Amino acid sequence: MLVRLRQEVQEVSRRVATEAAPLLLRELLDWVACRPRTYAETIDAWRSNCPRHPVLDDAFTDGLIEVAGGSVALTERGRTTLATIP
C-alpha cells in the first residue's frame, strides 16, 4: 500500500493491518452484540478514515452486521463469525 507522507510516497506493509483485523473485528462484533446500538452511535464510534482499519465497512459489506429498525445488529453470519474468532 502506498501512503503519502510529507509529499513523499512510501510503501507501508499491509501485514500489520491484516494481523490486527480479526482482533478489531471481534471487538466490533462484541460491541454490537453487547446491547442495542443506533446507526449514528455505531458510525461515531467505529468510523475510520484510515484505509488500514476499515473494520466497520468490512463488517457491513461481509454481511456481519445490519441496520434493522434504526439499530445496528449482528446478522446470523455475524453471530457465527463472533463465535469462531478466538
Q: What is the pLDDT of residue 21?
A: 67
Q: Which three cell numbers stand for residue 51?
A: 484505509
Q: What is the pTM of this model?
A: 0.72
**Into which CATH architecture does domain 21-84 fall?**
Orthogonal Bundle (1.10)
d(CA 65, CA 50): 20
Q: What is the pLDDT along the chain (86 residues), one digit of tens a residue?
A: 434 445 454 444 444 344 456 888 999 999 999 998 999 999 888 887 666 558 898 899 999 999 988 899 999 999 999 999 88
Q: What is the pLDDT of residue 72?
A: 95
Residue with cell 490486527: 20
